[in-house]
Amino acid sequence: MLEAAIALSQTRRKADLDDLIEELRIPSISALAERRADCVRNAHWLGDRFETMGMKSQIVDVDGGNPIVIADWNEHPGKSHLTIYGHYDVQPVDPLEEWRSPPFEPAVRDGEVWARGAADNKGNHMATVKAVEHLFAAGGPPINLRFVIEGEEETTGIALPRFLRTHGGDLETDAVLIWDGGMDEDGHPTLATALRGLFYTQLRAKGAAVDLHSGTYGGVAPNPINTLARVIGELKDRHGHITIPGFYDAVRAPSPEELAAWKQKDARYVETVKGMIGAKTLEGEDGFLALERAGSRPTLDANGFIGGFTGQGAKTVIPAAASAKVSMRLVPDQDPQAIQAAFEKHVRELTTPGVEISVEVLGSAPPVTCDVDNDAARALREAYRQAFGKETALIRVGGSIPVAVDFQEAVGAPLVISGIAQADSAIHSPNEHLVIDNYHRGIEAVIRFICGLAEG
C-alpha cells in the first residue's frame, strides 16, 4: 500500500497542485465579517472532498463561529488512530498594493505557488488531504483517521476550543498531527518541542471629548497619541528588556542541550534571517542568542497604531482618541492571566494625566510544550528522512497555535507539530508563497508517516 500510494502521488502531481490552487481561490478571511460566506464555502468544499474519498464528514457550527470540518474513518477496530489538524481560514491581505499578483488568483512562478493561504495553512492541510486521498485510492488507509479543520485559527476563535472541551471524551486518538508549521532556515523539516503562547491586546486612549485645534489648544490639551506612543515606548527599554514588573518571573530556561545546539547555528541563522527579511541587523534582548530570542524568550511588539488625521494634506489636530494593538508572545511557564493583570497595572501607571487608556484583550493562548520521544514523533522523523532526504530539526516555535493547548488538555494525545512551508514563505505578509516541491514531498511524507504509524 505504501509504495502504491506514493506511486499515485507521483503520477497525480498536476491534479494535486490544481486542487490546492482551487482552494486558494476561496477568500476565506476569518477576520472580516463580510467573508464569512466564503469561510462557510471553504468548509463545505473540504467536507465534499472527504465524503468523496470515503470518509464520514460533518460541518459543525459552534455558537455562530466559522464552521469546523470533521471527517472520520474508523474501519480498523483495534488499530492506531490519528487525528490531523489544519485550518482553512487565512489572514487579511493588506496592503494589497504590495502584492505582485492578486492574492486570491494563485500564480505559479519559479517553482512556487503565490497566493494568500499558500503556506498558512492551505498548502499544509491540502498535503495531508491529498496524502489520505492517495491512500484510499491505493486500497484504504492502514489506520483509523480523523480530520479536524477549523476556520478561526487566525483570529484565535472560540468555536474549535469549545467543541474540543465539550466533546474531548468522544475524540479518543493515539496522536494529533498539527500540520501548521514549516521548515527551518536551512531547509530542514522541523518538529516542535514548544510553541510560544499569545497575549494580544488593543489599547484605547481617550483625551478631550472632540478633536482640537493644535494651535489654540496645544500646550494645554491632553494628547492621546503622545501619551500612547510614550506608553508603548516605555514597555521595552533600549536593550530589548520588557519593563512590565514580574514579566520574566515564570520564564523557563532552555536546556543545556538546546543552548549547545543553538550556539552552533546561531551565526548562520542571523545572516540567513537578515537576508530573508531585508534588515541590516536583528534586535532583541541583550545577552541572548538570536535563536533564544526567536523561540525561548517572551516578546512584546506593537502591531498597529491609529490616531488623529492620517489622510493626504494637512490637518493639525490634537485627536480626541488613539488606539494601538500590542501583542506578547509567551513562553513556558508564563500564565496569560497573570501577564494581563501585570500589563494592565503597568499601563495605568505609565498613562499621563488627562488621558485614560483601556486594555481590551483580543486573543489569548498559553504556551505549549511537546514531548518528541514517542512513536508518532519518531514515525514523522523517519517519514521526513525518506521523503526529503534530510534529518528533522527539533525547534521551539516562535509563533502560536491557539488550539494546541485544547487538544493537549481535552483530548490528551501526544501532539506532533510540523509542516512544509519554507522559512521565507511570507505568511501573514503580501506575496505569501509555497515551494511546490515541498508540497509534493509533504504529501509523500504524510503517506509514509501514516503507514509508519501502522507498523509501530
| Gap between the Cα atoms of 350 and 328, Å rounded | 18
Cell 494593538, located at residue: 325
User: Is the CB of residue 89 less than 8 Å from the CB of residue 160?
Assistant: no
The domain spans of the chain are: 2-195+368-455, 197-251+298-365
Strand 212-213 relative to strand 317-318: parallel, antiparallel, unpaired? antiparallel
197-251+298-365: CATH class: alpha beta
- Write out the three cell numbers for 378: 519518531
The identity of residue 389, as a single letter, is G
Residue-level length of the chain: 456
The identity of residue 172, as a single letter, is E
DSSP conformational letter for 411: I
Among 203, 223, 229, 240, which residue's Cα sits nearest to residue 343?
203
Q: Using CB atoms within 10 A of its CB, is residue 125 exposed (0-12), middle (13-18) or buried (19+)?
A: buried
The residues pairing with 395 across neighbouring beta strands, listed in sequence order, are 192
Identical fold, 2-195+368-455 and 197-251+298-365 = no
| Gap between the Cα atoms of 115 and 101, Å rounded | 8
Name 163's Cβ contacts closer than 8 Å, sequence gap at least 6: 60, 62, 68
- Per-residue pLDDT, 306: 95
* Gap between the terminal Cα atoms of the chain: 16
DSSP conformational letter for 315: -
Digit-by-digit pLDDT tens for the chain (456 residues) are 899 999 999 999 999 999 999 999 999 999 999 999 999 999 999 999 999 999 999 999 998 899 999 999 999 999 999 999 999 999 999 999 999 999 999 999 999 999 999 999 999 999 999 999 999 999 999 999 999 999 999 998 889 999 999 999 999 999 999 999 999 988 999 999 999 999 999 999 999 999 999 999 999 999 999 999 999 999 999 999 999 999 999 999 999 999 999 999 999 999 999 998 899 999 999 999 999 999 999 999 999 999 998 999 999 999 999 999 999 999 999 999 999 999 999 999 999 999 999 999 998 889 999 999 999 999 999 999 999 999 999 999 998 888 999 999 999 999 999 999 999 999 999 999 999 999 999 999 999 999 999 987
Q: Using CB atoms within 10 A of its CB, is residue 452 exposed (0-12), middle (13-18) or buried (19+)?
A: buried
- Write out the three cell numbers for 179: 500540520
| Gap between the Cα atoms of 447 and 456, Å rounded | 14
CATH architecture of 2-195+368-455: 3-Layer(aba) Sandwich (3.40)
Among 104, 115, 113, 121, which residue's Cα sits nearest to residue 46?
121
pTM, whole model, 2 decimals?
0.88
- Per-residue pLDDT, 365: 87
The residues pairing with 146 across neighbouring beta strands, listed in sequence order, are 72, 83
